[in-house]
Amino acid sequence: MDRNDHPEELVLGCINKDRKSWDAFVERYSKVVYWAIRDRLRRYGYDHSEEDINDIHQDVFVALWAGGKLSQLRDPGKVAGWLAMVAGNAAIEYFRRARRQSPPSSVSLYEQICKDDDGRTLEEVLPSGADGPDRQAQLNEARAELASAIEGLNPKERMVAGMSLLHGMKHAEIAAALELPVNTVSTTVARAKKNLKEKLEKKRLL
């Protein structure tokens, strides 16, 4: 088996500036970066062109290679999910830097979990008694509990759920990026949502 079949060894080779590893890395993860950029821009309502996507795509890989950003990756085995996050953030920063459009309103993971059921937002789910600073504190606590809940998922669920719910990638795109059957991705996302809801219900946040 080629060493480049292992994400950990592939990432290490790139960090050490091995050109062969880098070429294999770009070929393997180029689509992940592209999808993450495109979906983040669509999801947040930015008016963009194919040229914008390509510019951001290039910026991401320049940062990874020339900027040494790959050295920030804590778990090389989760590189696909990490790349989706980096690419999505780069897409928002690209438009923010150019000041072509106002920053969009973020869509929380909490809202994504509820959306499939009844479309409620975080603000609508929580009790409405609090107001002003107390209300904001309540929302902050709920978001913190949500972050803790997703960290408590098993590694596979955490990666797939993150790519689906945080980065807006379609199940088919996640399947292609992680080399998994689409049915497996769909089942994993559904199970992750169920686990997240159970954790939040225990905290009386759903």
CATH of the domain at 46: 1.10.1740.10
CATH code for position 130: 1.10.10.10
Least confident range of 6-15, 34-43, 189-198: 189-198
Which of residues 58, 79, 98 is at a domain's end?
98
205 pLDDT band, cuts 50/70/90, is low
Query: Does a structural domain hold residue 80?
Result: yes
More confident: 167 or 194 = 194
Nearest 5°: phi and psi at 148? Answer: -65, -40
Are residues 174 and 160 in contact, defined by beta-carbon separation less than 8 angstroms?
A: yes
* Co-location of 66 and 120 in the same domain: no
* Co-location of 90 and 127 in the same domain: no
* Co-location of 60 and 113 in the same domain: no
Identify the CA nearest to 110 among candidates 142, 85, 68: 142
Looking at residue 179, what is its pLDDT?
A: 76
Identify the CA nearest to 19 among candidates 32, 4, 30: 4
Q: What is the mean pLDDT of residues 31-42?
A: 86
Range of the domain at 17: 3-98
Are residues 150 and 158 in contact, defined by beta-carbon separation less than 8 angstroms?
A: yes
Looking at residue 107, what is its pLDDT?
A: 47
- Please, what is the Cα angle at 105 between 101 and 115, to 5 degrees? 140
Decide if pLDDT at 16 tops 60.
yes
Query: Does a structural domain hold residue 103?
Result: no
Query: Does a structural domain hold residue 127?
Result: yes
Which of residues 77, 98, 119 is at a domain's end?
98
Which of residues 65, 98, 131 is at a domain's end?
98
* Co-location of 51 and 130 in the same domain: no
Three-class DSSP labels, the chain: CCHHHCHHHHHHHHHCCCHHHHHHHHHHHHHHHHHHHHHHHHHCCCCCCHHHHHHHHHHHHHHHHCCCHHHHCCCHHHHHHHHHHHHHHHHHHHHHHHCCCCCCCCCCHHHHHHHCCCCCCHHHHCCCCCCHHHHHHHHHHHHHHHHHHHHCCCHHHHHHHHHHHHCCCCHHHHHHHHCCCHHHHHHHHHHHHHHHHHHHHHCCCC
* Co-location of 57 and 118 in the same domain: no
Query: Does a structural domain hold residue 104?
Result: no
Decide if pLDDT at 118 tops 50.
no
Looking at residue 126, what is its pLDDT?
A: 54
* Co-location of 24 and 92 in the same domain: yes
Domain count, the chain: 2
Query: Does a structural domain hold residue 82?
Result: yes
